[in-house]
Amino acid sequence: MDRNVIICRSILENPAVTQRDLSKELSVSLGTVNNLMKECIEKNYFVIESKNDSYTLLPAGQALLDRHKVDGALIIAAGFGSRFVPLTFETPKGLLEVIGERMIERQIRQLHEVGITDITIVVGYLKEKFEYLIDKYHVKLLYNPEYSHKNTLTTIYHAREVLRGRNMYVLSSDNWMRHNMYHAYEGGAWYSSSYMEGETSEWCLDYNKKGRILNVSVGGCDQWVMYGPVFFSKSFSEQFLPVLEAYYNLPGTEPFYWENVFMEMLSGEAARKLPQLPEANLEPEMFINRRPAHEVYEFENLEELRRFDIKYQHTSDNQAMKLISQVFHVKESEITEIQCLKSGMTNKSFLFKIKDCRYICRIPGPGTDLLINRKEEKAVYDALAGYGISENVIYFDGETGYKISEFYEGAHNADPHNQEEIALCMDIVRKLHQSGLKVDHSFDIRERIDFYENLCMTYGDTLFEDYNHVRKQMVELLDKLDSLNHEKVLSHIDPNVDNLLILPSGDIRLIDWEYAGMCDPLMDISMCAIYSYYTQEETDGLMEIYLKRKPTGEERFTVYAYMALGGFLWALWAVYKASLGEEFGEYTIIMYRYAKNYYKKCMEITDM
Query: Domain residue spans in the chain?
Result: 3-66, 72-298, 318-407, 416-604
Cα end-to-end span (Å), the chain: 83
Q: What is the mean pLDDT of residues 291-316?
A: 89
Q: State yes or no: pLDDT of 58 exceeds 80.
A: yes
pTM, to two decimals? 0.81
pLDDT tens by residue, 426-462: 999 999 999 999 999 999 999 999 998 998 888 766 6
Q: What's the pLDDT score for residue 579? A: 75
Q: How confident is the model at residue 346 (pLDDT cuts 50, 70, 90)?
A: low
User: Over the stretch 533-564, which tens digit does the pLDDT of each residue have?
Assistant: 999 999 999 999 999 999 999 999 999 999 99
- Residue 574's pLDDT is 86
Q: What is the rounded CA–CA span in Å between residue 205 and residue 576? A: 48
Question: In the prediction, which pLDDT does 280 show?
Answer: 64
Report the pLDDT value the prediction gives residue 384, as an integer from 0 to 100. 95
pLDDT > 90: percent of the chain: 71
Confidence band of 55 (pLDDT split at 50, 70, 90): confident
Higher local confidence (pLDDT), 301 or 441 = 441
Q: Is the dihedral of CA 452, 458, 460, 462 positive or negative?
A: positive
Position 390: which residue type? S
Q: Which residues pair with 347 in a beta bridge?
A: 364
Quick check: 59 pLDDT over 80?
A: yes
Torsion (CA) 208, 210, 215, 219 in degrees, nearest 10? 80
Q: What value does the mean pLDDT take over residues 149-161?
A: 94
Q: What is the CATH number of domain 3-66?
A: 1.10.10.10
Burial environment of residue 388 by CB neighbours within 10 A (0 to 12, 13 to 18, 19 or more): exposed
Q: Which of 101-115, 205-219, 244-258, 576-590 has the lowest mean pLDDT?
A: 576-590
Domain 416-604 has CATH 3.90.1200.10: yes
- What is the per-residue pLDDT for 528? 95
Nearest Cα residue to 13 out of 25, 31, 1: 25
Query: Quick one: pLDDT at residue 593?
Result: 93
Residue 72 β-bridge partners: 168
Residues 6+ apart with CB under 8 A from 6: 22, 25, 26, 187
- Read off the pLDDT of residues 243-278 as tens digits, 9 standing for 90 and up: 999 999 999 999 999 999 999 999 999 988 988 887
| Long-range pairs for 366-373: beta carbons < 8 A, 24 or more residues apart | 366/580, 366/581, 366/582, 367/576, 367/577, 367/580, 368/401, 369/401, 370/455, 371/346, 371/573, 372/346, 372/401, 372/514, 372/515, 373/441
- 60-86 pLDDT, tens digit per residue, is 999 999 999 999 999 999 988 888 889
Contacts of 10 (CB under 8 A, 6+ apart): 17, 21, 22, 25
Name the residue type at position 23.
Answer: S
- Least confident range from 341-345, 479-483, 497-501, 561-565: namely 341-345
299: phi then psi, degrees, rounded to nearest 5? -70, 120
Q: How sure is the predictor about 37, in pLDDT bands with cuts at 50, 70 and 90?
A: confident
pLDDT at 573 over 90: no
Question: Mean pLDDT across the stretch 591-607?
Answer: 91
Mean pLDDT over residues 87-103, rounded? 92
Per-residue pLDDT, 480: 95
Domain 72-298: assigned CATH number: 3.90.550.10
344 has pLDDT over 60: no
CA 232/CA 548 separation, integer angstroms: 68
> What is the rounded CA–CA span in Å between residue 363 and residue 233?
44
> Is the pLDDT at 343 greater than 60, yes or no?
no
CA–centroid distance for 572 within its chain: 25
Contact (Cβ atoms closer than 8 angstroms) between residue 244 and residue 261: yes
Percent of the chain with pLDDT over 70: 96
**Which of the residue ranges 232-241, 271-280, 518-527, 569-578 would you say has the lowest mean pLDDT?**
271-280
pLDDT confidence of residue 491: 97
- The percent helix, strand, coil of the chain (3-state, each to 5) is 45, 20, 35
When the pLDDT of each residue in the chain is averaged and rounded to a whole number, the result is: 91
Using an 8 Å Cβ cutoff, are 530 and 495 in contact?
Answer: no
Mean pLDDT value of segment 402-406: 95
- Note the CATH number of domain 318-407: 3.30.200.20
* pLDDT of amino acid 458: 80
Name the β-bridge partners of 507: none
Least confident of 269-283, 345-359, 518-532: 269-283
What is the per-residue pLDDT for 575?
86
pLDDT band at 521 (very low <50, low <70, confident <90, very high): very high
Is residue 599 pLDDT above 90, yes or no? yes
Give dist(CA 499, CA 513) in Å, integer: 9
Q: Comparing 233 with 19, which gets the higher pLDDT?
A: 233
* Residue 29: strand, helix, or coil: coil
